[in-house]
Amino acid sequence: MSLGPVTDAARLALSAATAEGAVMRTEDVVRWLGERRRGNRFRVERIPLDRMDGWYADDGTGDIRHRSGGFFTVEGIRARTGHGPVRVWEQPIICQREVGILGILVKEFDGVLHCLMQAKMEPGNRPLLQLSPTVQATRSNYTRVHRGARVKYIDYFTGSERVRVLADSQQSEHGSWFHRKSNRNTIVETDGDVPRDDDYCWLTLGQIAALLHHDNVINMDSRTVLSCVPLPDAGEEALHPDTEVDRWLEAERARRKVHVEPLPLSAIDGWRRGTHTIDHESGRYFRVVGVSVQAGNREVTGWSQPLFEPRGLGVTAFLTRRIGGVRHVLAQARAEAGLHDSVELAPTVQCTPENYAHLAPGDRPLFLDQVLAAGRADILYEAVHSEEGGRFLGADSRCLLVEAGDRGPGDDAPSGYRWLTAGQLSRLVRRGHHVNVQARTLLACLNATAAAGR
């Protein structure tokens, strides 16, 4: 009896269940990354802001711009909201109006889908080299505004090569540091021969899941694409039906608007511009720095640029518990100044604790103390992961899945929070601009723990 055609979701699930690939052993990946680091010349050096080659401060506004008119700018904004302990603030923000491509190419080996992953250097990452998608490029990069080498494998994602599209959606980037920045997150399949490159390797989704348990191996851009993988719908019984979740999220978007107006970077209140940095006068939040970069395996082997450097280690966590036998996570409807719709679903806790240390206990992020106090027995997943290393310097976050048990909120979560299943989050991710980048990282980690049977 025929069971019918195997769906793409089932094929991806098989890849997620395959712990060892046909091309490279999982235990060899970290060693291989070390070999790629030693095989190329990498250097990142802090430099004065006015010594960044190709960049200048606009005479009228102080905004930092690239002389080509491409890439991105650093500008100022004033944000106003009716919620939270701080209702009005001003800050620098990255404006990058072009949509980049984050794409993973997949191909079958021995009947199992493998992902082509890149050992990519990003100046803000620690370590510098991490596993990125097959293509991780801004439009300025792949249209070669920099006049450098062509982005490898780009033809698979721009229509020049025949592929099957398995996933394709636009997703937001960090809403606190980017102004309405989106990337196309896509997964495409080829059955043709793929040219081999020394800085790339083929891994199953199961191997990548195992590597997600290591600190700073799988980069942010890979994690957001992995969150878009259309795995089979488990038919889980959710506490809240999808239609109810949709109504709740739209109501939160209407209720929690953030009004943003542009300001000259030189005029934002509370920020000081020095020779090497733009800092907040309190010493909190982040600072803008300039770096000079050398990278032997990039399309351009040397360049300068500004980076945002946060102050302190971030904490990104979902509280989780089983409801009716099905694992749920506590998602937050979080407003951020740089998001397209002001509000997207976020982790239960998403913050840098040092930024709230000066506030009264009632103004600290809800559930932060519970997450920080969690014992080993309650932590289902923990690893430190980098944020986007092409724009942020040393922006690491401690990523956690914490069993709430009886100490967490009940079925009636506080205002602004809802218990959702992984399947519900996945469906919302595939719609685009519904789940923020930190929650997408945790969804990839949640799927990794499910693959490990936790």
Residue 388 assigned to a binding site: yes
Residue 256 assigned to a binding site: no
Residue 202 assigned to a binding site: no
Residue 227 assigned to a binding site: no
Residue 219 assigned to a binding site: no
What are the C-alpha distances in Å from 243 to residues 423, 427, 428, 448?
14, 12, 11, 27
Q: What is the distance between the alpha carbons of residues 195 and 398, in angstroms, rounded to a whole number?
A: 36
Reference 404, options 324, 302, 301, 327; nearest CA is 327
Residue 140 assigned to a binding site: yes
Bridge partners, residue 314, by sequence: 397
Q: What is the distance between the alpha carbons of residues 430 and 8, in angstroms, rounded to a whole number?
A: 15
Residue 11 assigned to a binding site: no
Peptide bond preceding 414 in cis form (omega within 30 of 0): no
Residue 20 assigned to a binding site: no
Residue 321 assigned to a binding site: no
In eight-state DSSP terms, residue 395 is: -
**Angular region, 243: left φ>0, alpha ψ -120 to 50, beta rest:** alpha
Residue 67 assigned to a binding site: no
Residue 350 assigned to a binding site: yes
Token duo for residue 127: 């370590």
Residue 141 assigned to a binding site: yes
Q: What is the distance between the alpha carbons of residues 390 and 21, in angstroms, rounded to a whole number?
A: 29
In eight-state DSSP terms, residue 218 is: B
Contacts of residue 392, Cβ cutoff 8 Å, sequence gap at least 6:
124, 174, 177, 307, 308, 309, 310
Q: What is the distance between the alpha carbons of residues 120 and 139, in angstroms, rounded to a whole number?
A: 17
Residue 285 assigned to a binding site: no
Residue 138 assigned to a binding site: yes
Residue 351 assigned to a binding site: yes
Residue 50 assigned to a binding site: no
Residue 125 assigned to a binding site: no
Token duo for residue 364: 């600290």
Reference 399, options 328, 329, 347; nearest CA is 347
Q: What is the distance between the alpha carbons of residues 51 and 216, in angstroms, rounded to a whole number?
A: 30
Q: What is the distance between the alpha carbons of residues 33 and 122, in angstroms, rounded to a whole number?
A: 14
Residue 156 assigned to a binding site: no
Residue 198 assigned to a binding site: no
- Known binding-site residues for dTDP-4-dehydro-6-deoxy-alpha-D-glucose equal 55, 138-142, 176, 221, 271, 334, 350-352, 355-356, 388-391
- Known binding-site residues equal 55, 138-142, 176, 221, 271, 334, 350-352, 355-356, 388-391
